[in-house]
Amino acid sequence: MLRPMKRQRPTTPQSAFTLQELLVVIAIVGILASMLLPALAKAKARANRIKCVNNLKQVAGAFNGFADDNRQRYPWLLNEKDLIRAGGDKDWAFDVERIFTAPEIRANVQTAKILISPCDPDHLGAAELVDLGDRNLKRIDKGALSYAVHLGSDALRPTTMIAMTRNFDGDDPVAYRYPSGERTPRLGRTLRAKNLKHVYFLGANTHFNSRVMAGLSNSQGQRANCDGSAGQSNNADLRELVLTHSRARGGNIRDASSENLTRPR
């Protein structure tokens, strides 16, 4: 019995990229990538600044929580006896490496991740080694901190600044008479209303020193006030804040607010 012969379908040649077409596709992909990558980088930088602002809100909240438990006084506005009670000696409140290790402050901050900015990648590695849950922790290396603490802030002067990113210039610190005595802060810097030419943010694109934060360009920084507000800032905004800070009156002290900060790096 003869079997019917199977018909073979005609084979069609498979199409393939020519070398010229492949090079065109690669060129188009390269052009698209060059257009998209800068936009993605800018979006990431904006997101990091927003996260940094949130960190500063929590830092301000930690100090405001401390003030709520201490007659509306921040650590630097305590008398010597209360300073020793809260932190073990009379100097911890004026040192950025020690201020976050005091029991009440540490409990309010809760995690060291709050103390490092996503705009400060050079400090991220050191920050990961900090354990705020360690009761024996007495000092946090300045290389694990991104924020300066303003020693002129007063919970009853809501327009005074309490914290900001460390990438600012300023002048050398000056002695100021606090309730616990005269102090010139360790690792200090001052933002003076009478010398606004030195009040500005250092940018990674314009300056080259240890105070620069890699994720912030010229005239970029973040700050928080005693009223709980926090936001992105620039040089003009910072100068206005410094002027407002210097004009604040009332509260826990009779004198003008100190213009000193204690700053990492």
Which tens digit of pLDDT belongs to each residue from 89-143? 999 999 999 999 999 999 999 999 999 999 999 988 898 899 998 989 999 999 9
Rounded Cα distance between 150 and 91, Å, is 15
Contact 239, 199 (CB under 8 A): yes
Are 264 and 96 a contacting pair, CB within 8 Å? yes
Report the percent of the chain where pLDDT is more than 70: 91
Average pLDDT in the 209-229 region?
A: 95
Give the pTM.
0.85
For the segment 156-170, the average pLDDT, to the nearest whole number, is 97
Structure tokens at 253: 């002290």
pLDDT of 66 > 70? The answer is yes
pLDDT band at 9 (very low <50, low <70, confident <90, very high): low
- State residue 26's pLDDT score: 80
The band of 15, judged by pLDDT with boundaries at 50, 70 and 90, is low
> Contact 192/198 with Cβ under 8 angstroms?
yes
CA distances to 62, 110, 165, 169, 206 from 214, in Å: 26, 26, 12, 16, 11
What is d(CA 151, CA 185) in angstroms, rounded to the nearest whole number?
8
pLDDT at position 12 is 56
User: Does 201 or 8 have the greater pLDDT score?
Assistant: 201
Whether the pLDDT of residue 30 is over 90: the answer is no
What average pLDDT does range 82-92 have in this prediction? 94
The better pLDDT of the pair 1, 136 is held by: 136
Rounded to an integer, the average pLDDT of 209-234 is: 96
Contact at 8 Å (CB) between 231 and 157? no
First-to-last C-alpha distance (Å) of the chain = 97
Of 151, 153, 162, the C-alpha closest to 185 is 151
Nearest to 203 by CA among 152, 228, 169: 169
